[in-house]
Amino acid sequence: MYCPEEDLIRIMKGCGIDLLCTLPCDRVRNLIALTDRSFFRLPLTREEEGVGICAGAALAGKRPAMIVQSSGVGNMINALLSLTQFYALPLALFISQRGIYKEGIAAQVPMGQALPKLLNAAGIPYSVIDTQEKLPGMAADLEALYREEKIHAFLLSPALWEGSELTLESSPARCQCEPTELAPRREALWPSLTRYQILEALRAILDGQAVICNLGIPAKELHAIVPQPSNFYMLGSMGMATPIGLGVSLFTDQRVFVVDGDGSLLMNPGSLATCAQARPANLTILAIDNASYGSTGNQPTLTNVCVDLELVAQGFGIRHTARVASKEELLDAAQLRPAGTHFIHAVAYPGNAAVPNIPLAALEIKRKFQDFLCA
């Protein structure tokens, strides 16, 4: 029986892949359906968030991989370079190579043709897998990328699946997320604290905990207040704090805090839906909403006029939420340990504290954080 999908699954299992993040593609629908029997698979809302989740899993010592189609690589290239590659985190990319072989959708062609050049320009090695005979050679590349903490892309040509005798039926089912009761639209909640004061108030709670912090001045403020090896300071990749925190929380018993911001969450809001679906009980997302892009000059965000982040989180399916403004409300919410992901919407004054730069390089930040998780 010709079944390259099962051959590929055996190779992936042999290399010890722990987490598989996927987005659908017609050409690899059978492969994705088959993975549910062998892997912890996490469906994504967007390719970019998968890079963050896989980065978190890698920080926790796991072997992550993604299945996406070639058109989706355009949605993840910055995160691949400024997060995965920058922090030397391993990631296997299984890319359904559209736009090259017997492609029926014209819009797939431009990215399909550009993809090899794009990967070369990004310094990401790749292998074209277009026949079953090339599958066994993938094992060595997989082992190497995890050992060397690199990215490697496997371009899976539709030609590989031609003649496959595997037929799997999938029946759509509604997600079993816990129901949420949406709060009614409310009047504005007036802040009483800046972001720095919020972090300062949480000093004792964050001390000794795994903390993934949004990039820019938030990370500098956190380092000034609670400088500890269990902090993962983001130096790039805006919008990835919550996905990284989700990836870490899935593979540790430690409580994981994410210090995120309104601008960052608005850039990648679908990650909240993925958190709601995964429901790790050890994950707390602290969304500090000062209605501004604080690190770039305090330009206003849309939470200033029309977006309520707590309602957004509830709408995406996160059941346990709180909206706070005072120090007392903040401390009460942060000490809760609900049976599921906890989202704290902390309304804050805009403004940045005068704090120094973080005196740590990316790899030092990574190693300290990994050592903490492994202790």
199 and 301 co-located in one domain: yes
Mean pLDDT to the nearest integer, 330-356: 94
- Same domain, yes or no: 95 and 215: no
C-beta pairs of 98-105 under 8 Å, 24+ apart in sequence: 98/25, 98/27, 98/69, 98/70, 98/71, 98/158, 99/70, 99/71, 100/157, 101/130, 101/157, 101/158, 101/159, 102/158, 102/159, 103/158
pLDDT bucket at 178, cuts 50 / 70 / 90:
low
* Residue range of the domain that includes 314: 195-374
Q: Are residues 261 and 128 in the same domain?
A: no
Are 136 and 269 members of one domain?
no
pLDDT value at position 170? Answer: 52
- Per-residue model confidence as pLDDT tens digits over 241-261: 999 999 999 999 999 999 999
Q: What number is the average pLDDT over the span 82-90?
A: 98
pLDDT in the model for residue 173: 45
Whether the predicted pLDDT of 171 surpasses 80: no
Residue 360 above 50 pLDDT? yes
pLDDT band of 172, cuts 50, 70, 90? very low
Share of the chain above pLDDT 90, in %: 85
Count of domains observed in the chain: 2
Q: Looking at the structure, do residues 153 and 20 belong to the same domain, yes or no?
A: yes
Q: Do 220 and 115 share a structural domain?
A: no
Same domain (yes/no): 330, 199: yes
> Rounded mean pLDDT of 306-321?
95
Label residue 375 by pLDDT band (50, 70, 90): confident
Residue 286 shares a structural domain with residue 221 = yes
Mean confidence (pLDDT) of the chain: 93
pLDDT given for residue 174 in this prediction: 41
Which DSSP helix (H) or strand (E) runs through 347? strand 342-347
**Helices (DSSP H) in 42-83: which residue ranges?**
47-59, 77-79
* CATH number (domain holding residue 16): 3.40.50.970
Determine, yes or no, domain membership for 170: no
Shared domain for 87 and 199, answered yes or no, is no
